[in-house]
C-alpha cells in the first residue's frame, strides 16, 4: 500500500506525509499511549498527541517548502 501511494504521488507530482513511519511503525501506538499521547481506545490522540502530530506535520511541510525553494534557486 505504501509503495502504491508513493508511486501515485510521484505520478501526479503530489506530496505525501508518512505519519505511520514518523509515529514509529507497527505497534507504535502502545508507545504513544504510554507517553500519554493516545486515548484509551488507542485510536484517537489526546490533546497533547494531536498537538504533537500537528507540530510534526507543520515541521515536515516547512522542510519540504525549504527544500523546494533551495532546488528552485539552484536550477
Dihedral-angle region of residue 38 (phi above 0 means left; psi in -120 to 50 means alpha; beta otherwise): beta
Domain-located, residue 67: yes
pLDDT in tens, 9-57: 999 998 899 999 999 999 999 999 999 999 999 999 999 999 999 999 9
Q: What is the largest CA-CA distance in the chain?
A: 50
**pTM tops 0.75:** yes
Asked if 46 and 38 count as a contact pair (C-beta separation under 8 A), the reply is: yes
Q: Is 10 domain-assigned?
A: no
> What is the extent of the structural domain holding 46?
18-74
Count of the separate structural domains present in the chain: 1
Amino acid at each position: 500500500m505504501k509503495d502504491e501511494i508513493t508511486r501515485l504521488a510521484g505520478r501526479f507530482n503530489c506530496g505525501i506525509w508518512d505519519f505511520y513511519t514518523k509515529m514509529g511503525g507497527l505497534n507504535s501506538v502502545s508507545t504513544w499511549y504510554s507517553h500519554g499521547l493516545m486515548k484509551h481506545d488507542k485510536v484517537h490522540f489526546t490533546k497533547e498527541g494531536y498537538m504533537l502530530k500537528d507540530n510534526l506535520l507543520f515541521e515536515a511541510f516547512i522542510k519540504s517548502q525549504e527544500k523546494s525553494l533551495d532546488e528552485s534557486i539552484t536550477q
